[in-house]
Chain A
Amino acid sequence: DVKVTQSSRYLVKRTGEKVFLECVQDMDHENMFWYRQDPGLGLRLIYFSYDVKMKEKGDIPEGYSVSREKKERFSLILESASTNQTSMYLCASTKGSGRASDTQYFGPGTRLTVL
Chain B
Amino acid sequence: QKEVEQNSGPLSVPEGAIASLNCTYSDRGSQSFFWYRQYSGKSPELIMSIYSNGDKEDGRFTAQLNKASQYVSLLIRDSQPSDSATYLCAARYNQGGKLIFGQGTELSVKP
Summarize A's interface: helix, strand, loop or mixed. Answer: loop
Which residue, A48, A95, A100, A108, has most C-beta atoms of chain B within 10 A? Answer: A100
Summarize B's interface: helix, strand, loop or mixed. Answer: loop
Asked whether A98 and B43 contact (CB < 8 A) given A42-B102, A43-B101, A103-B34, the answer is no
What is the interface residue range for chain A against chain B?
20 to 34
Tell whether, in the assembled complex, residue B103 and residue A42 are in contact, meaning their CB atoms are under 8 Å apart: yes
Of residues 78 through 92 on chain B, the ones whose CB sits less than 8 Å from some CB of chain A are: 88, 90, 92
13 A/B residue pairs, CB under 8 Å, sorted by A: A31-B96, A42-B101, A42-B104, A48-B98, A94-B97, A100-B32, A101-B32, A102-B32, A102-B92, A103-B49, A104-B97, A105-B46, A106-B36
Which A residues form the contact surface with B (CB < 8 A)?
31, 33, 40, 42-43, 45, 48, 50, 90, 94-96, 98, 100-109, 111
Known interface pairs A48-B96, A104-B46, A109-B42; 11 further A-B residue pairs with C-beta atoms within 8 A, sorted by A's residue number: A42-B88, A42-B103, A43-B101, A45-B98, A94-B97, A95-B97, A102-B32, A104-B99, A106-B43, A108-B42, A108-B43
